[in-house]
Structure 1
Amino acid sequence: MPLIRQLVASARMMLVLTLALGVLYPALVWGIGRAVPAQADGSLITRNSQVIGSSLLGQAVTDPTLFHPRPSTSEYAGGTSGGSNLAESSKDQATAVAERHAAYARVAEGEPTADALTTSASGLDPDISPKFAQAQVVRVATATGLDPARVARLVEEHTAGRQLGFLGEPRVNVLELNLALDRLR
């Protein structure tokens, strides 16, 4: 008899846990995801009812009238995201940084920031440092015919502070900044 009681208790516990962890919990998480669909659907940004990007993923930008993101080892392809995994002492890393340093003058002015010369761990970082964004203001203002002071204010308006006030660094989302720039024009 004790063996049968243990088997019945085990079967009941399995059913309860299967229901709780296999049905109720996933349904709860799905429901919360539906309550905040922008986050659950990848923070997609639309314009004229058409998806133009995600605020969570960097995109390639070559247009001189727009702000440029940090470099990507994956060419901004989400399916192949990842860093280069090259050490700072690697000759390939030194070559890549030297090439980006030489190309920096076409994108921004002043001394290059680290995020202008190196890729992020994912290769899809949507943000750049405020300093890198400010270094691009003159080029963008010249290419668009806008007042440089107004473009600089736009960068300041789109600079997000540290998360929770102490995590990470201030950052500028390139896609959101470029959309605001388009609205300004």
Structure 2
Amino acid sequence: MRLPNWLSRHLAALRALLVLTVLLGLAYPLALVGVGTLPGFSHRADGSLLTANGATVGSALLGQSFTDADGNPVPRYFQSRPSAAGDGYDPTASGASNLGPESVVDTLDADPRESTPSLLTRVCARSRAVGALEGVDGRRPYCTADGVGAVLAVFRADGLTGRATRVVSVNQAAPATPFVATYEGVPVEPARPGEDYVAAGGLVTPVRGDAPAEPAVPADAVTASGSGLDPHISPAYAEIQVARVARERGADPAAVRGLVAAHTTGRALGFLGEPGVNVLELNLALDARFPAR
């Protein structure tokens, strides 16, 4: 007996569902699990976990912070780049700050803890802190000496043009001293928390300052990766940390540089991406060769 067309179509769909479920829901996953148990693949399949003294300390694929309970860098370790994933390197909250290059004006509140720094101020503050930690010049273009974005709101007589009538350092809350005393002959005021100078008609005007064109602190030392979980830093960032780590461990800086080189990976396929230094692997190698005194 010939089945009705609608029933034939439903039976064909059911057979396709069963076949695809067996192939893609059972056979394919089991095949991948089997491949993952083969020599050379099992370590990667388990998450590229790293151990020290018999205990798992992390993954070569995920970055982590090397700070104390108060969030301060532990001097004997190489430091990772900043992370915007949760409270930092949280694999359950992978992500970036979502702040772009136009984020240069802070949101100031009477309670500093409620203020929201712009991307520029975050970069400036990090660069200043890294410079102080590593003993290098932490200045960057468009940053003030106290580590915030060097940005003015300039009010002009004719809106967008004309002489300046009022100038406010928007990222420095009163009673701070503005990073420049005058602009176009007009005294610069510190900002008052809660005021929106841009909405009031002030023209956002970043001031470059006298910082070197090529900052001593590399970009990856002051910006987070897109995932917030990047385990690598640039060789340039590793280099400015060598002297500190060698001093803290009583090691020869040349020997520390050798370990950095040993844990530096090149570009993928020789031309994709940039060289990187795996921070966790490097710090484990340091602990093995130069234990903390």
Q: Is the aligned partner of 1:119 residue 2:119?
A: no
Q: CA deviation at 1:136?
A: 0.6
Q: Which residue of 2 aligns with 1:144?
A: 249
Matched, 1:69 2:80: yes
Unaligned stretches of 5+ in structure 1? none
**Structure 1 position 78 matched with structure 2 position 83:** no
Question: Structure 1 residues 28 and 65 mapped into 2: Cα distance closer, same or farther (>3 Å)?
Answer: same
Give the aligned residue type for 2:58: G
- Residue deviations 1:151-185, cap 9 Å, x none? 11211121110112221110000000111111111
Q: Which amino acid aligns with 1:28?
A: A
| Aligned match of 1:98 | 124
CA distance in 2, matches of 1:141, 1:44: 26
TM-superposed deviation, 1:48: 2.1
Quick check: 2:52–2:284 contact (8 Å CA) kept in 1? no
Given the superposition, is the C-alpha separation of residues 125 and 5 from structure 1 closer, same or farther in structure 2, using an over 3 Å criterion?
closer
**Shift, 1:13, TM fit:** 3.3
Q: Contact between 1:161 and 1:171, CA under 8 Å: does it hold in 2?
A: yes
Whether 2:63 is the aligned partner of 1:41: answer no
The count of aligned residue pairs is 185
CA–CA separation in structure 2 for the residues paired with 1:27 and 1:165: 34
Say yes or no: does 1:132 pair with 2:237: yes
Structure 2 gaps, min length 5: 67-72, 105-117, 138-215
Tell me whether 1:88 sits opposite 2:193 in the alignment: no
CA RMSD of aligned residues (A): 1.8
Give aligned-pair identity as a percent.
48
When structure 1 is superposed on structure 2, of 101-110 and 91-100 the one drifting more is 101-110
In the other structure, the counterpart of 1:17 is 20
Structure 2: distance between partners of 1:73 and 1:42? 22
Higher helix share: 1
Q: Tell me which amino acid in the other structure corresponds to 2:51.
A: T
Query: 2:17 and 2:93 mapped to 1: Cα distance?
Result: 39
CA distance in 2: counterparts of 1:20 and 1:101, whole angstroms: 53
1:123 is displaced (CA, Å) by 1.3
3-state DSSP of counterpart to 1:59: coil
Measured in 1, the distance between the counterparts of 2:80 and 2:248 equals 17
